[in-house]
Amino acid sequence: MSTSVDVITECRQRLAALLHAGDPTRIVLTTHATQSLNFAVLGLGLAAGDLVVTTVTEHNSVLRPLQHLADRVGIRIAYVPLDEEGALDQKVYQELLDDKPRLVAVNHASNVTGRVNPVAPLFDWAKQAGAITLLDASQSMGLIPVDVSELQADLVAITGHKGLHGPTGTGALFVAADVELEQVFVGGTGVRSDLVRHPADMPVRHEAGTYDMPAFAGLAAALRWVESREPEYCAREQELGRHLRAGLQALSGVTLFDAQADVERTAIASFRIGGWTVEEAGFALNASYGIDCRTGLHCAPLIHQAIGSAPDGTIRFSASGFNTADDIEQALAAVRHLAS
């Protein structure tokens, strides 16, 4: 790619290539996945009585915009539960599709358990039912393949600061060529300033205001790194994630949630330590052992009811390809000490 390409164009081109999306003008740049998801949900023009099918594994960035529309305009929301194996219940899902939903929204991977959802068949069935498909790829982009054609995803929400290793304050929304979203965010564009209304052509159709150029320059640099180093990084992250989960599952006094070993996951582990609240354990892990972790509901309240960790949630470790096997061993030693 020529060094003369500006960073905004470069971000669009590299994201389109990662998504196998073809036309870079279908990539709308945003400030984070939450904004992308709001653009998608609020821009579809959903009306009273319209059904949206989503899942109990979703983040509040999906759940809350949908609830906002339920309160304001009266859409209906149906949540696909988990089956006995901890996967999305496909029987219930297919029954819900019989009611011809307008939108099906599924996250690619859970930010609580790391489990990767089987998006391709789910979206194939959704398209056959006439639904628009929305993928929350916040937890997967840059870590596992996201091919919009193979997955049959009409809309894909992306954040820049997770698997893509870019700065916070960057994100994107892919919009398929046959999907036109209503404009929910308008204003200055720096082009076509003579128009009374916001320009209608993509991608400026959904972009208003001044770009955070330093942030997107950082995202462009991160995307270059992803292109050159990501396979090696991802393989190492997956190996460390398996090591982490197996180690936690073997510890006495520790409960690992969604503990099946033979399913595709990102390198996330959610657990509890007997005798500790999740907040106290998280504080102790950080203050005494220097381990950064997250505790609580992780902005995904419904999955905790499904996996049995409500109302307090879990302690969450996330392995990285920048970690080492020694890092994982030190983390396991710290949990072992607290559990004893």
Per-residue three-class SS string for 161-212: CCCCCCCCCCEEEEECCCCCCCCCCCCCCCCCCCCCCCCCCCCHHHCCCCCC
Return the H-helix or E-strand segment holding 33.
helix 33-43
- pLDDT, one tens digit per residue, over 112-142 is 999 999 999 999 999 999 999 999 999 999 9
**Rounded Cα gap, residues 118 and 131, in angstroms:** 17
pLDDT of residue 229: 85
110 Rama sector, left if φ>0, alpha if ψ -120 to 50, beta otherwise: beta
pLDDT at 192: 85
User: Distance between CA atoms of 66 and 53, rounded to whole angstroms?
Assistant: 10
Positive or negative CA dihedral for 142, 144, 145, 151?
negative
Length of the chain measured in residues: 340
Q: What is the mean pLDDT of residues 285-297?
A: 97
pLDDT (tens digit per residue) in 227-274:
988 788 999 999 999 999 999 999 999 999 999 989 999 999 999 999
What is the rounded CA–CA span in Å between residue 87 and residue 92?
12
pLDDT at 225 (0 to 100):
95
Residue 155 has pLDDT above 50, yes or no: yes
- pLDDT reading at 207 higher than 90: yes
pLDDT (average), residues 5-11 = 92
Contact residues for 4 (Cβ-Cβ < 8 A; gap 6+)? none
Name the pLDDT band for 333 (thresholds 50, 70, 90): very high
pLDDT score recorded for residue 140: 97
**CB of 216 closer than 8 Å to CB of 11:** yes
User: pLDDT tier at 3 (50, 70, 90 boundaries)?
Assistant: very low
Give the pLDDT score at 261.
Answer: 85
Cα angle vertex 233, ends 229, 234, to 5°?
Answer: 120
Beta carbons within 10 angstroms of residue 166's beta carbon: 26
In which residue are the tokens 């091919």 written?
147
Please give the share of the chain, as a percent, with pLDDT higher than 90: 94
Output the pLDDT for position 230.
77
pLDDT (tens digit per residue) in 161-205: 999 999 999 999 999 999 999 999 999 988 888 899 999 999 999
The half-sphere exposure of 340 on its side-chain side, counting CA atoms within 13 A, is 7
pLDDT of residue 2 exceeding 50: no
| DSSP label at residue 17 | H
Letter for the amino acid at 27?
Answer: I
Four-residue CA torsion sign, 308, 317, 147, 232: negative
